Amino acid sequence: MSSLGEADGRRDVTASTELKRDALGVPSLVFVALAAVAPLAACAANIPLIVGHGNGIAAPLDFVLVGAVLLLFSVGFTAMSRHMANAGAFYAYVSEGLGRRAGAAAGYVALFSYNVLTVCTSAMGGYILSNNLSMELGLELPWWAISLVGWAVIWGLGSLGIEAGARFLGVTLVLELAVVVLVAGAVLAQEGLSALGALSGAPAAALEGSPGLGTVFAFACYLGFEATADYGEEARDPARTVPVATYAAVVVVALVFVSAAVAMIASLGPAEIVRASRLESAGTILHGIVVERLGEGVGHAYNWLYMVSSVACWLSAHNAASRYLYAFGRAGLLPAALARTHARRKSPFVAGVVQALLGALVVGTCAAAGLSPYAQTGAVASALACVGIMLLEVLLSLAALVYLRRHRGEPGFPGGLFITTVAPALSVALLGVMSVLVMSNLPALTEQDSPVLNVALGLLVPVVAVAGYALACRRAARGELPDPATIRVES
């Protein structure tokens, strides 16, 4: 890597740190983003949480509300993506809007959040595979052993390059969506108009129970869609591909979860779905509906796809976390070795190795401490990732507001009031409210009863942000804080 003091003020990066160009089109990028959402697994796990512990049969409305807010967020997000492509998207975008120090702080939060998300996906993935392999094959394997072996598999898939990963994620996503569409179609076909009648009480239920908790769990189902911008350097025509894929991802996620929630409510009925969702076996509700409506054979296929869905989600989180490590290594904010890419596949293999080892170490430590994979390790990691990514979305919306107004009317930039001001401002306000809801419902997300522990967990992300800002200030004082917009990768 060349130094920051070049004559043209730009930072050149040698071919050994180049990601593969023109590797992803719109469909592939949508597959990568949606696989991170893990539609099948999230439908099975989160919809019962919303129904049983949130605001009941208003679950479909929660998904519509959160989807609408994220579409507003996407306006500023994609407007910025048309002018920059960087593997550390939040880092680069916040830097451009709010300055390098704030951008570096956001980058460290993103590093933390996506790496924590891999802890969640690996712990829950090990738990899901352990349970389902026992049901399908009679194999009794400890979850932690599956997680540790799984990390080697995930790293291998990630090191093959983004194209290979996109193909795997595309196949798994199509199969997952097929199951959701089939079961929703079967319920609607068999129940007829009465299926929609079961939702007549949804508007009234929207403000009953714990609507804040319902909104929080619904937001968690969208985690991962924002990773589209992380692959901007690897996308074909990123100025067009990233915006289209981002909007498509939000819309598809909303349609999938609304359809699944409607099908589950209509299949069991409003009263029964609420009762069943409060039981410990709530995670099996969707599987039961699949077996009842589509038969035992599809039920077995569902179990296998549930496992594949968890692996796909795990791989997507690993890819996103690896790219932030890569981007920070390239920018000199972490060791430069993290920016090394595979000579032929152009995958961030060093960052991938480090990320996989880090994830395996954390999961192994949690297992050695006797923490459960789902209710403790996975739940806490998921809550921290949710807090971190929501904070990043608030910061990015604010950055978009500043950046787009600064360049309003310039050639190539939007001049309309809605894109430059209204949408980003509404996004800041609405995501800010949702952030308060997340923090106020943190005990339900972490599933921990200790107030001290929940306060400590709630402060963890802000502490990372403050520490990142302090580090950035120190580097800036020494003239060592780069502008991500000036990093140029030579083909």
Q: What is the 3-state secondary structure (H, E, C) of 209-237?
A: CCHHHHHHHHHHHCCCHHHHHHHHHHECC
- Over residues 322-336, the pLDDT tens digits come to 988 988 888 888 898
Say yes or no to pLDDT of 423 above 50.
Answer: yes
Beta-bridge partner residues of 489: 13
pTM over 0.85: yes
Exposed, middle or buried: residue 451 (CB in 10 Å: 0-12, 13-18, 19+)?
exposed
Q: State residue 161 phi and psi, 5-degree precision.
A: 110, 160
Mean pLDDT of 291-303: 92
Query: What is the residue extent of each domain of the chain?
Result: 11-489
The CA distance from 31 to 24, in Å, is: 10
Judged against a pLDDT cut of 90, whether residue 164 lies above it is answered with: no
Confidence grade of residue 17 (pLDDT, cut at 50, 70, 90): low
The gap from C-alpha 26 to its chain's centroid, in whole angstroms, comes to 18
Q: Which of 438, 460, 400 is nearest to 109 (CA)?
A: 460
Per-residue pLDDT for 421 more than 90? Answer: yes
* Digit-coded pLDDT (tens) for 74-107: 999 999 888 876 666 788 889 999 999 999 999 9
Residue 23: which pLDDT band, with cuts at 50, 70 and 90? Answer: low
Whole-number pLDDT of residue 7: 34
What does the pLDDT look like over 25-47, one tens digit per residue?
788 788 777 877 888 888 988 89
Tell me 20's DSSP state: P
Average pLDDT for 381-409: 92
* Residue 488 clears pLDDT 60, i.e. is over it: no
Query: What local confidence, expressed as pLDDT, does residue 14 receive?
Result: 44
Residues 304/323/385/355 CA torsion (nearest 10 deg): 70
Residue bearing the bigger pLDDT, 249 or 25: 249
**Residue 129 is inside which H or E element, if any?**
helix 100-137
Q: What is the mean pLDDT of the chain?
A: 86
Whether residue 355 is predicted with pLDDT greater than 60 in this model: the reply is: yes
- Alpha-carbon separation of residue 371 from 208, 291, 377 (angstroms): 34, 32, 6
Residue 317 near residue 117 (C-beta atoms within 8 A): yes
Q: State the pairing for strand pair 487-489/11-13.
A: parallel
| Calpha distance 142→443 (Å, rounded) | 27
Scored b (16 or more CB within 10 A) or e, 206-236 reads beebbbbbbbbbbbbbbbbbbbbbbbbbbbe
Query: Which pLDDT score is estimated for 10?
Result: 43
Which tens digits make up the pLDDT trace of 188-241?
A: 888 877 767 767 778 888 888 888 888 989 998 898 888 787 777 777 777 888
Q: Which residues are registered as beta bridge partners of 488?
A: 12
Architecture of domain 11-489: Up-down Bundle (1.20)
